[in-house]
Amino acid sequence: MDLKKEIKVSDLFRKGGKKPRAESPQPAEETEDKPKRRLARSRKPKTDAQLVKKSRERRPARHKRLVGLKIGASQLAAARIVNNGSPELVQVARAGLEPGIIVGGELREPDALAEALKRFFRTNKLSKQAVRLGIASNRIGVRTFEIGGIDDPKQLENAIRFRAQETLPIPLEEAVLDYQILDVTTDDEGARTHRVLLVVAYRDLVDRYQAACRKAGIKLVGIDLEAFALLRALGDRSEVASNAAIVVATVGHERSTLAVSDGETCEFTRIIEWGGMNLNVAIARALDVAPSEAGPVKHSISLLEPAEAMENIDPERAAKVRTAVHEELQTFSRELVSSLQFYQGQPGSLGIGEIVLTGGTAQMPGLDAELSRLIGVAVRVGDPLARVKLGKKVRDDHELGSLAVAIGLGIES
């Protein structure tokens, strides 16, 4: 099964998603007062393969050219991909974003973002016609579950909405939701069970991003979860054992996104409130300077070398910096372990073979080895170009690590 295809429950919010009906949906099993309608159906039952195919037909049309757009707390990043056979990365762009526009994954200043997007697309001569936006927030829920004993599509949709209401802490009248049938199995007695992937987000979260893009003149063909894009860019099953989960994480400026896949679909995702800025603050405290002054120090650190080898800083202050960084990485490792333990507490979870890191902070020399030591699981820095061909005008350098999500957003299955 094609990993890129299966984990791409993308564009679920392409048109704002489906707005649930005001009344609470009821599961199909409780609609016993409508036997007449059921008896009147004389169509030949669909096979399992037809049911899965029908679900996949709900996906939007493929796009040969896409611009993947990631809006972070401190940066705008874009990747233009040509999806003609093997995806080809033909353009990348990034620009700083003023603080306060995006806070905790939430858009606080839509007008300011719209103006920043206008400048960003104009300066970099990016197409506004086919853009897929990535979002990441703790106000987005992802669940997989099974529903048995239902064949009628409308009844199945009702049952899924009912499960959404039960399992996710989002009032349905305030939600955007969509789902994909991952698999259909039939037991010896002919009863079918549907395995469903459900994504639910707060409507105001999605609407604010859509409005800002619309004001900037950007035509969105889809809104995707950053976790899904991350898996498309870095989730290579060939790199891990067949019975192990694929675990990828991108370390952003303020927060990190963790995604876990079984190789077919994203089974778990979590936003961790830790990012590269935490290291800046820790270094600033150690040196008694402003966090803005700590940034260059962070970029000069190598955890592979002794503290005294740090350039432009005396050995005593270098030792303080190294201690501060180690302590902050312990905090991050605890958050990673806690999240993965939560995942493994779910039925059917897989073992953790390794963690693949990306993002600007992940490029710090020796950071992967230090996290591996703290967590007890292999950690490596992922290659954001692993799933794409490199266009002639794109340089292959370490800075591409912060573009992994944008690249994944541009990849079409």
d(CA 385, CA 387): 6
> Do 199 and 333 share a domain, yes or no?
no
Q: Say if CB 211 and CB 220 are below 8 A apart.
A: no
d(CA 324, CA 288): 12
Residue 19: pLDDT over 60? no
Concatenated DSSP letters for 318-384?
HHHHHHHHHHHHHHHHHHHHHHHHHHHTSTT--EEEEEEEESSGGGSTTHHHHHHHHHSSEEEE--T
pLDDT digits (tens, 9 = 90+) for 113-170: 999 999 999 999 999 999 999 999 888 888 888 888 888 888 888 888 888 877 667 7
Give how many domains the chain has, as a whole number.
2
User: What average pLDDT does the structure give for the chain?
Assistant: 82
> Do 288 and 342 share a domain, yes or no?
yes
| CATH code of 162's domain | 3.30.1490.300
For residue 81, is it within any domain?
no
> Do 245 and 306 share a domain, yes or no?
yes
Rounded average pLDDT over 376-399: 86
> Do 199 and 254 share a domain, yes or no?
no
- Reported as half-sphere exposure (CB side, CA atoms, 13 A), residue 111 has a value of 0
> Do 254 and 179 share a domain, yes or no?
no
Element (H, E) at 114: helix 110-123
pTM: 0.81
| CATH code of 366's domain | 3.30.420.40
> Do 300 and 187 share a domain, yes or no?
no
Query: Domain ends where: 203, 222, 256?
Result: 203
> Do 300 and 379 share a domain, yes or no?
yes
Among residues 8, 42, 4, the alpha carbon closest in space to that of 388 is found at 4
State residue 135's pLDDT score. 92
For residue 210, is it within any domain?
no
Domain that holds residue 285: 237-384
Q: Say if CB 409 and CB 107 are below 8 A apart.
A: no
